[in-house]
Structure 1
């Protein structure tokens, strides 16, 4: 998501990626590696911008842990976490709903989940507790990677609306319990 042109390329080429078109896969892998290398070279010790590679991970780790490791593939949990981060970013007012829709659409087109299953063992309290012990907690403060502004911009911050996070978790957990938003 940090590379807007690559995100747009994926939107245009998802069918080729899913069909395992060799040229599309080569390009996607090359561009992904270039993006990661650019971030890592600027932040070798994960003190700032490198953390943005973890978009969706704090929510995703709570899903993995709370559901039992092995229930979800890591990428599936991170996909749901990315959907949650996008939803929360919009709830705060940092991105618009059109971008949230694009993120959901590309995840769904890639055959990745964007919500917890109806039989998930998660509840809001458990979810928030699991998030509170994530490795990105510093000095007792949870820090998240969220989207801010236009496509391609993310921030690593502990300065966010706690109510927006709780509302986002509540909505996702309520969906898996079969309760409408």
Structure 2
């Protein structure tokens, strides 16, 4: 097992990564301070893992609330239903929400926990690779709006993250590959040595080699934990973690959150960001090619669908949370491991890359 520590001045927490962690309930049960627990999950994950998780809740007053599976269900309506479930449970200020699922469940459950009585504890139990290496760590919570992805939300850190890699055995191949995109992203932003390690171990990672997988998850989480500790609310450095996201979120929104997975959008978005960096003279074509090759070896898409007009995607990119006063601010790079925030990017250059 690997343990990653997230240091946040009195709100520190651990990310545990390894097999059998859901059943190892003494570890995470100790992070529950009160007697009320609401487990939020979805209709795909709950039949597989809810019973195992709730064995660790004996002696507590608990209930569960399930949402349907998929990004389209990360809505205010479902946040309202989770809050109603907390009310029916009689949840007090020391209650805890446990998010058992992927990024959608984690984001929504965490947002509801941030709202109930202005903030109660929650524990992340991610069941997708994408959630293990990204959304479960760092305290970003939120929901989607028709205008764009994650436009409503709050920073609300978990009490613990329980990344039980055994659950990945039931993860569909497409979902698994989507999680690999976020691992690549961390290396592409700020760790060229990790990027080279991924190139060396790409085949083993694609094949779900458990030793390589645990190391990759831990290295990505360790990198993100350091960034979050230095910039919890994304005032500067943490924005770099959004490499590829402005493009990717636009693609997700254009497809009504049903055409591509978040990780697929990130993979495509990273390549588009690299190509734009090339166009602006910031980076060499060799780096774009290395990134593209690695993503393709991991079974990820690297080009956007032609179904969405470039002008439509640009309009959606304008709603990105990093923009200021109508000016595009994108995360670009100067090559592998050297990302930066770039303001005032011209529409014409973005359109050229999208076309």
TM over 0.5: yes
2-side partners of 1:88 and 1:158: how far apart? 13
2-side partners of 1:75 and 1:100: how far apart? 18
- Return the index of the structure with the highest Cα Rg: 2
Asked if 2 retains the 8 angstrom alpha-carbon contact of 1:67 and 1:121, the reply is no
Residues 86-105 of structure 1 mapped to structure 2, 5 A cutoff: 86-105=274-293
Cα offset, 1:22, TM superposition:
1.2
The counterpart of 1:69, out of the listed 234, 257, 260, is: 257
1-side partners of 2:228 and 2:221: how far apart? 10
Cα offset, 1:26, TM superposition:
1.0
Instruction: State the TM-score, normalizing by the size of structure 1.
Output: 0.88
Higher percent of residues as strand:
2
Once structures 1 and 2 are overlaid, which stretch shifts more, 97-106 or 139-148? Answer: 139-148
Instruction: State the TM-score, normalizing by the size of structure 2.
Output: 0.46
Gap regions ≥5 residues in structure 2: 1-187
SS in structure 1 at match of 2:331: strand
Could you say which residue in structure 2 is the equivalent of 1:129?
Answer: 315
Gap regions ≥5 residues in structure 1: 171-181
Could you say which residue in structure 2 is the equivalent of 1:43?
Answer: 231
Query: Larger relative CO (CA 8 A, sep 6+): 1 or 2?
Result: 1
SS in structure 2 at match of 1:35: helix
Cα offset, 1:121, TM superposition:
2.8
Could you say which residue in structure 2 is the equivalent of 1:154?
Answer: 339
Q: Output one character per residue of 1:17-63: Cα deviation in whole Å (capped at 9) or x when no partner.
A: 01111110111001000110111111111011101101000000110
Higher percent of residues as helix:
1
Cα offset, 1:161, TM superposition:
4.4
SS in structure 2 at match of 1:27: helix
SS in structure 1 at match of 2:234: coil
CA RMSD of aligned residues (A): 1.2
Aligned residues: 167
- 1:29 is aligned to 2:217: yes
